[in-house]
Amino acid sequence: MIRRLLLSAGIFSVVDVRAHCDLPCGVYDPAQARIEAQSVKACMEKYHGSDDPIFRARAVEIKEQRSHLVKEHLWVLWTDYFKPPHFEAYPQLHELFNQATKLAGAAGTKGSLDTAVADDLLAKIDEIADIFWETKKV
């Protein structure tokens, strides 16, 4: 009630913002990207296993949504977790993220129904995860 009065009086304003975390929380894990990528591959397999056009359309829509989530999870790791010392120690890291996000994009799993593309994406995520867990040992 008081907040509403302050808003209407122009004393208080609301700004809509979006972020991985408000704190930042410091909780990062490439497993989030991997789970979404596994879902992408499963949608592809279900698509190929069905003759129902409605089911297939749903599988494609969900696959595209999950592909985008893969990219978001990778972006959070790339831009929020990994810092310059990581990129110095692992010079291939920028290229791995670039390749992985492209594999989750329109030229990759978002625009393809080929499970081999999903396997390539999963492999890139695993490479990123290996480096991620190495950095956690320090």
pLDDT in tens, 63-73: 999 999 999 99
Q: Would residue 61 count as lying in a domain?
A: yes
Q: Would residue 121 count as lying in a domain?
A: yes
Euclidean distance between CA atoms 48 and 31, whole angstroms:
26
Percentage above 90 pLDDT, the chain? 78
Total tally of structural domains belonging to the chain: 1
Q: 128 and 77 in contact (C-beta within 8 Å)?
A: yes
* C-alpha pair distances (Å), 44 with each of 48, 70, 85: 6, 15, 38
Q: Summarize pLDDT for 90-121 with one digit per residue, the tens.
A: 999 999 999 999 999 999 999 999 999 999 99
Residue 97, domain extent = 32-137
- Report the predicted TM-score, pTM, of the whole model to 2 decimal places: 0.82
Euclidean distance between CA atoms 45 and 128, whole angstroms:
25
Q: Would residue 111 count as lying in a domain?
A: yes
Looking up residue 112, the CATH number of its domain turns out to be 1.20.120.400
Euclidean distance between CA atoms 70 and 32, whole angstroms:
8
